[in-house]
Amino acid sequence: MHLHTSCSPVNPDPQSLPAAVEFRDVTVVRGGVHILDGVTATVPRGGCTAIVGPNGAGKSTLLLTLLGELPYSGRIHLDVAEGRPRVGYVPQRLEFDRGLPMTVEEFMSMGSQRIPLWFGCRKKSRDRAQQLLASVRADGLAQRQLGALSGGEVQRVLLALALQQDPELLILDEPAAGVDFQGELLFCELLEGLRRNRGFTQLMVSHDLSTVTHHASHVICLNRCVAAEGSPQDVLTPQNLAAVFGVHMGLVDRSSMPDQAASCSATCCDHDQDH
Amino acid sequence: MTLIATLSEFIGWLLPFECMQDRFMQQAMLGLVLLAPMAAAMGVQVVNFRMAFFADAISHSAFAGVAIGLLFSLDPQWTMPLFAILVGLAIMAAQRRSALSSDTIIGVSFSAVMAFGIAVVSRDSGMRRQIDQFVFGDILTIDDTGLLCLIALFAALLAFQAFSYNRLLYVGLNPVLAKAHCVHVAVYQYLYVGLLSLVVIFAVWIVGVLLVTALLVVPAAAARCMARTAGGMFWWAIIVSVSSAIIGLLISAQPWADTATGATVILVAFGWFTVSAAVSAVRA
């Protein structure tokens, strides 16, 4: 990752702030196949950027290159306040060993506590875990076994773990996969509130266009290269969707998207979105 | 070697059995109670990382290590651990880079080092004893130098485990997530593999190549069934492993038993595992 340190003055207009992430001509080739081909895109600071595209479009690959997990050509520029970028990551479905005996509290402490867990969780990490779990509405889970959690609970605990990094950039890969509709609404609502309070930049991959229309402030439409980029109402047009997904996606009702920000009548969208 | 002598006498006093009054038995017990907790602690991560096959490959490289010693007229006591570390680090590096699945990489390395060992050793007809010791191990041949090395390794391993236990859990759960959250995954992985190679080589010496994986995996597996927390898992693995080592050696020394020590230790540990699996089933 190319890191850059900058001290930009506080500016109320997000458009003039430097982008949180810039992809410049990012190409990933594996086994002779171009998985990403010259991707140039921007993730505006402070907003919620969604990457959409069909299966095999390279959405998760783009996140993995950003995390430094895959070799690529081109440039990825992370603009951070100072030092190392603070990144929080919520993977698609944590493939973990459910037979591992571990409490949620230990899960929250394994990255932050230096004293080995042989001696239990220290009071400090216990309090911090409690606080973070409360912020994702998972207060009651601290003593539960990690392997016994439902898909939605795992997702919230993973979000708490990512928030422990005090992230400037929160990266989510299909946050709603494996979660029922009600759980998805709650999760989106939760993220909205957290983003408003903590002021991080949110970057997520989603295959669910209704989630995107309701929550994203910026959309990158990806199909190995960037097919379209901009605000949801500019990008999620029937023409673009037909071009990228290959069929007409009747999911997006543009009339539900007023002027600047995407919005809807769902409980999670009761409040105004970030600009 | 006064340290070893003192420790041996202490063991003789601690376990006032008739069979424990011989110096070689005291040294054997000392070797086992040093090795058992190390194998148990590293075994917790072997199970978390699903590295049982990896450990098996390292243990089989011991034979090639002996062969290299023979070829270059070097003491196999040193070529064995050095070669094992080399093989362990090479497999880890290949796993991190290659597109091949990790069991394929291990399978290839495993057969290559084994074939090399057999090819070299088969030229020498006087090597039968070496092969026997490689296969079955011999706790009674452990000498003062070996014990001192074990003590040094014990100290290094304790420091490593105390420093890394929490982060190794992170890496074991999901390395991509750990790395994104600022854990130095590669450093932990290479350090772990280097130390694991050394523990495995000592285990080959003491229980033989056939039982090394058992010594690593069985206590950790029993601990998984017994424990409800990641911290508790560590203590259960140590308890199972050390108690099996002590009981196993005592049984094997009884005239009515007269069994191979390594095998007896593993059988006791397996007894523990059966009990723990039953406990876990009752709980569920």
pLDDT band (50, 70, 90) for residue A9: very low
Question: Does residue B147 form part of some domain?
Answer: yes
pLDDT of residue A14: 47
Contact between residue A268 and residue A214 where contact means Cβ atoms under 8 Å apart: yes
Largest CA distance in chain B: 58
Angle formed by the axes of helices B76-97 and B102-122, nearest 10°: 150
- Of B54 and B124, more confident: B54
Measure CB to CB from residue A103 to each of B182, B229, B235 and give the nearest one: B229
- The average confidence (pLDDT) of chain B is 91
Mean pLDDT of A146-164: 90
Complete DSSP assignment for B39-75: HHHHHHHHHHTT-HHHHHHHHHHHHHHHHHHHHTT--
CA–centroid distance for B76 within its chain? 18
Residue B179 structural domain: 23-209
Question: Does residue B113 form part of some domain?
Answer: yes
CA distance A51 to chain B (A): 19
Length of chain A: 275
Contact between residue A76 and residue A66 where contact means Cβ atoms under 8 Å apart: yes
Q: Which residues of B touch A101 (CB under 8 A)?
A: 224, 227-230, 232-233
Q: Taking 80 as the threshold, does the pLDDT of residue A261 lie above it?
A: no
Write the pLDDT tens digit of every residue in A117-128. 999 999 999 999
Is B186 near chain A, with CB under 8 Å? no
CATH number for position B77: 1.10.3470.10
Q: How many CB pairs under 8 A join A and B?
A: 101
Q: Which residues of A touch B161 (CB under 8 A)?
A: 116
- ipTM of this complex prediction, to 2 decimal places: 0.88
Mean pLDDT of A89-93: 85
pLDDT of residue A253: 53
pLDDT of residue B143: 86
Question: Does residue B266 form part of some domain?
Answer: no
Instruction: Check A117 against B180: CB less than 8 A apart.
Output: no
Q: Which residues pair with A90 in a beta bridge?
A: A172
Pairing mode of beta strands A225-230, A218-223: antiparallel
Total domains in chain B come to 1
What pTM did the predictor assign? 0.87
pLDDT band (50, 70, 90) for residue A7: very low
Mean pLDDT of A240-246: 80
Question: Does residue B264 form part of some domain?
Answer: no
Which residues of A lie closer than 8 Å to B, measured between beta carbons?
Answer: 30-31, 64, 67-69, 84, 87-89, 91, 94-97, 99-103, 106-107, 109-111, 113-114, 116-120, 145, 158, 161-162, 164-165, 171
φ, ψ (nearest 5 deg) of residue B10: -60, -40
- The 3-class secondary structure across A157-172, one letter per residue, is HHHHHHHCCCCCEEEE
Instruction: Check A116 against B161: CB less than 8 A apart.
Output: yes
Question: Does residue B277 form part of some domain?
Answer: no
Question: Does residue B31 form part of some domain?
Answer: yes
Is B238 near chain A, with CB under 8 Å? no
Q: Taking 60 as the threshold, does the pLDDT of residue A262 lie above it?
A: no
pLDDT band (50, 70, 90) for residue A15: low
Q: Taking 70 as the threshold, does the pLDDT of residue A254 lie above it?
A: no
Write the pLDDT tens digit of every residue in A25-41. 999 998 888 999 999 99
Write the pLDDT tens digit of every residue in B130-173. 777 788 888 887 888 889 999 999 999 999 999 999 999 999 99
Question: Does residue B280 form part of some domain?
Answer: no
CA distance linking residue B167 with residue B181, whole number of Å:
11
Question: Does residue B279 form part of some domain?
Answer: no
